[in-house]
Amino acid sequence: MKNLYALAALSLSLSLFSCNKGDNLSDRGFVPLPTQISSSSGSFTLNAEQKIQISGNEESLRGIVSYFNQQLSKSLGFELESGTESGSIKIELEANNPEDESYELTISDEEILISANSPAGIFYGVQTLLQAMPVEVFAENTGMQSFEIPAGEIQDNPAYSYRGSMLDVSRHFLPVEDVKHYLDQMANLKLNYLHLHLSDDQGWRIEIKSWPQLTEIGAQTEVGGGEGGFFTQEDYKEIVRYAAERFITIVPEIDMPGHTNAALASYGDLNPGINLPDGDFETVTKSVDKAEDEFKGSNITREAAELYTGREVGFSTLDTDLDLTYEFIEDVVREIAEITPGPYFHIGGDESHVTAKDDYVYFIERVQEIVRDHGKTSIGWDEVATSKLLPGNVAQFWALEENAKLAVDQGNQILMSPAKKAYLDMQYDSTTRIGLHWAAYIELDSAYLWDPATYVDGISKSDILGVEAPLWTETVENRADTEYLVFPRLGALAEVAWSPASSRDWESFKSRIRVMGQRWENQGIGFYKSPLVNWE
Ligand code: TNX
């Protein structure tokens, strides 16, 4: 009788965990789709006996191996031994060319081999290997002792070098743990840039030691009047470190000259005196003209703006004529650049509806120089292309094609975030419980079915640095809201950024995102069950 129970338990666990035995490697539900997959017969058995063998720059590989082991041990309860001697899971770093993110993954009965020319390439090979395993590997404490990974070979290489997402932590603040959780998910999708929108009208979210009121005052609320919050510089460094472990670079954004009410509420001396009146947008614009007429050249008594907790955009501006404005920016850029190892600093530049056109151009050109002097490359929303861009600076296309073309005409590259496709805050359809729809409703197929290289007439692949999917958070209050809007669309956008357009296919994506859904479910992620996909 006992034996019968044991047999039943064994066959149950076999059917649970090894049901994929005999499956093809290409059926494992890879997202984003690798460039080439060839399946062969047989499979590799992974259990606690297997060892990892690393070769080539041990130092840089050790972090990846410990990441891999952390992922496995959460689910399996054991880690694999690793060293340079011998092992059936071989990780070979063949060169150190950080630009080359390609990798090869070979799985046979005897061994697994991941090889690449950069640590990032190895890391992506590890991500693909995790997806080649049963989806239970993404669940905690499964008690799985052994499982099969189908044999075959994968060669892979990203289409774009910048594959990003953005979190707006200003409209609603998100704590460090939520940002880390987001980074975990980005890493699984081979995304490599997280843009943090750190300031806006509703909140200033990063400690600036030389201007402490930015957070003492400007971080104290958010859309809807909640308590807000901010990252200390230590918090920010921890995010940067955690991201780097996952080969993700942080891009900090300080949005200016518009979207600055939180700063103007913190320091009245910066405020040109245009506050959001109770009235509509036209009243605001008129009040700006009036303010300019009244204030230009005269002695104005500047007063702090009121904190703002609404959802309007385009009513605030820094004073582009004021020396103090540039002293302020100089300090902010310096302090943030010092704790940002990545190459980019995002200067915003969008929707400065109450900044006079000439003032805007002057301001953007001057701020680009400040950023350059602190060793960083500027990215700005597409409006910045109406100014003269410094060489190498990037325009992030979100709304106006003519702006994107202005940037390309100047010889600058574009980061593609068309609001109609890439905006994660757009509702899926009219029934979606949160989100906006000013640009479009974006169902999963719409987020998937576009090609950055043909999206704007006159802009081709070589003009494009990459793709970024921003999450604006006017309607997003917590992690659950984030997950509902981000997944599954982030999977679609990751594939748009990683996989060559020629290999992308909606039917194939539908069958693979279904498997990705099981991985998300195993991690407790509450994603949107698009009716276009059979999730069962
Ligand atoms: C436009 S996109 C904005 C943001 C809003 C977003 C809402 C961009 C550069 N500006 O300020 O949050 O729409 O979808």
Which residue out of 200, 201, 313, 475 has the highest number of ligand 1 atoms within 8 Å of its CB and is therefore the one to mutate?
Answer: 313
Cβ neighbors of 473 (< 8 A, separation 6 or more) are 167, 168, 169, 170, 171, 172, 174, 223, 425, 482
Tell whether 251 and 114 lie within a shared domain: no
Do 138 and 227 belong together in one domain? no
Note the pLDDT of residue 274: 57
Distance CA 73, CA 95 (A): 29
Judgement on whether residues 147 and 193 belong to the same structural domain of the protein: no
- Residuewise pLDDT in 10s, the chain (536 residues): 445 454 444 444 444 444 444 489 999 999 999 999 999 999 999 999 999 999 998 889 999 999 999 999 999 999 999 999 999 999 999 999 999 999 999 999 999 999 999 999 999 999 999 999 999 999 999 999 999 999 999 999 999 999 999 999 999 999 999 999 999 999 999 999 999 999 999 999 999 999 999 999 999 999 999 999 999 999 999 999 999 999 999 999 999 999 999 999 999 999 987 544 444 444 444 445 555 554 444 445 688 999 999 999 999 999 999 999 999 999 999 999 999 999 999 999 999 999 999 999 999 999 999 999 999 999 999 999 999 999 999 999 999 999 999 999 999 999 999 999 999 999 999 999 999 999 999 999 999 999 999 999 999 999 999 999 999 999 999 999 999 999 999 999 999 999 999 999 999 999 999 999 999 999 999 999 999 999 98
| 149 plus 184 within the same structural domain | no
- Is 351 an active-site residue? yes
Catalytic residue among 111, 153, 292, 351: 351
Query: Do 369 and 443 reside in the same domain of the chain?
Result: yes
* Residues 137, 182 within the same domain: no
- Upper half-sphere CA count for residue 105 (Cβ side, 13 Å): 28
pLDDT score of 409: 98
Does residue 451 sit in the same domain as residue 378?
Answer: yes
| Mutation test residue for ligand 1: of 351, 383, 437, 438, the one with most atoms within 8 Å of CB | 351
Same domain, residue pair 251 and 353: yes
**Which residues, in sequence order, are CB contacts of 518 under 8 Å at separation 6+?**
29, 135, 138
Domain contains 205: yes
Domain boundary among 156, 190, 224: 156
Same domain, yes or no: 89 and 212: no
Interval between CA 510 and ligand 1 midpoint (Å):
29
Q: Which one, of 445, 422, 469, lies nearest residue 530 by Cα? A: 445
Query: In angstroms, what CA-CA distances link 370 with 58, 60, 246, 333, 375?
Result: 39, 33, 30, 8, 9
Q: Which of 471, 511, 472, 513 is nearest to 495 (CA)?
A: 513
| Alpha carbon of 472 to ligand 1 centroid (Å) | 7
What's the confidence (pLDDT) of residue 139?
98
Task: List all residues 6 or more positions away from 182 whose beta carbon is below 8 Å from its beta carbon.
Answer: 165, 167, 174, 194, 482, 486
In terms of DSSP bridges, do strands 249-256 and 203-204 run parallel, antiparallel, or are they unpaired? unpaired
Q: What is the pTM of this model?
A: 0.93
234: left (phi over 0), alpha (psi -120 to 50) or beta: alpha
Ligand 1 atom nearest residue 351's Cα? 10
Residue 286 lies in a domain: no
User: What pLDDT score was predicted for residue 87?
Assistant: 96
Q: Does one domain contain both 77 and 148?
A: yes
Residue 372 and residue 485 share a domain: yes
Assess if residue 9 is contained within a domain: no
CATH classification of the domain holding 55: 3.30.379.10
Provide the residue range defining the domain that includes 339.
Answer: 170-268+320-505
Q: Are residues 116 and 205 in the same domain?
A: no
CA of 348, closest atom in ligand 1: 9
Pocket of ligand 1 (CB under 6 A): 313, 350-351, 381, 398, 423, 425, 436, 472, 474
Which is the closest atom of ligand 1 to the Cα of 398?
2
Tokens of 409: 């005409």
**How buried is 293 (Cβ within 10 angstroms: 0-12 exposed, 13-18 middle, 19+ buried)?**
exposed
How many domains does the structure of the chain reveal? 2
Contact between 80 and 48 (Cβ < 8 Å):
yes
Residues 149-174, buried b or exposed e (16+ Cβ, 10 A)?
bbbbbbebbbbbebbbbbbbbbbbbb
Question: Is 425 buried (19+), middle (13-18) or exposed (0-12) by CB count in 10 A?
Answer: buried
Q: Residue 49 — φ and ψ, nearest 5°?
A: -75, -20
Residue 44 CA to chain centroid, in angstroms?
Answer: 33
Please report where in the chains the tokens 């958010």 appear, as a residue.
Answer: 222
Task: Classify residue 517: in a domain, yes or no.
Answer: no
pLDDT of residue 23: 83
CATH number where 379 lies? 3.20.20.80
Sequence letter at residue 328:
F
* DSSP characters over 125-157: HHHHHHHHS-GGGGSS-----EEEEEEEEEEE-
Residue to probe by mutation, ligand 1, list 281, 350, 426, most atoms within 8 Å of CB: 350
